[in-house]
Structure 1
Amino acid sequence: MNLKELQAWLNSEEGQSEEIKTYLQGLNPYSVEGMKKYIYENKDAKSWLDSEKDVHTSKSLESWKKNNLQKLIDEAVTKANPQETQEQKKIRELEERLNQKEKAETRQALLNKSLVIADEKKLPKDLLEYFLGENEETTTKNIEKLETVFNKHVETVVNERLKGDYKPPKSGNEHNKNVVDMNMDEYAKYWQEKNKK
């Protein structure tokens, strides 16, 4: 039987039976189930299919970005920053400048207050800016903490010096004054002069 005879027989009523169709379907390796099995069992086929899916997904994503993303970004920006009129912009800028000025004035007032406190408590003034708080209460607490720590440190240093090798000055100059009775400026000057010798 040649090919033409076989085709004629398949087109005849006898060749159209369910048995023949099922048999011929088994010979066809391109059924959906056959393709799935082939792709999952063959690494090269799976790799090829994955790359095709990636290409398709990338094209879809690029197309979506091109058509929709800028619109979504513009909407989000507009929603977050509604368009200001010139008048609104000037008002906002003036409010910002006013707030900055108020903060600067508050900071200066706190610094002035802390200078007075530091002077009363004989604390070094050049450290005060680091201890300024948001308001007078926190600034005062910070300075009190500085005073406590500073005085403890001074006392520790003085006690260490007095323990062992301290020798009172032999001359009758200003260093005969008791170290404990000195204020911070006198104490600093005293140690600078002593360390120079």
Structure 2
Amino acid sequence: MTASISDTRPDPQLIRWRYLWYVAAALLVMIAAILYGNTWFLNWVHVMSGVLWTGIDLFMGFVIGPILRRVSVPVRKEILIRLTPVTLFLLPALSVITGTSGWFLAVHLGFTQMPWPQFGWIAAALVLITLMTIQGLGYLLPTSVRVCLELQKPDPDGQKIGRMMSRFYYVVASQGVMQVLIIIVMARLATGV
């Protein structure tokens, strides 16, 4: 039996440093929006990064996650080896851009000067974005890297991967719930507090 082309090529490199150019470009757009001070531009950066971050998080948590839990290690390996290099830079950049541009937009629109209880909506947004960013950068990102590094080994430890991924899915699910909650908060802010 002959090996197929996909069986003979080496695994793709996990960290693709060229993606840093995209992150730098996105951060420069955010910085330009903040410095320029145009409400529309700053709102666009905040909404677009938030939509991308939320959409990807929800898709990963509620579509990809359940699928990955039920497939064999070789299939999981193929998916994660291709998915992680993209999300490794994309999701942290989106989380930082969404939160930062959102804060500057709130200041620009005067939301940070609102009295209590209206300010409670801003506080809720800050708590949610802080929790999601900490979870993403402090747990999801390092776990994704550890799983991919294990999957790149010639004989990956399936039990170790299973242990890491079982907790991972609960954190991703909590991110999904917080994403829905922050959409509620943003809808409330957009329609008037």
Give me the TM-score of the superposition, normalised by structure 2.
0.24
| Higher Rg | 1
Higher relative contact order (CA 8 A, sep 6+): 2
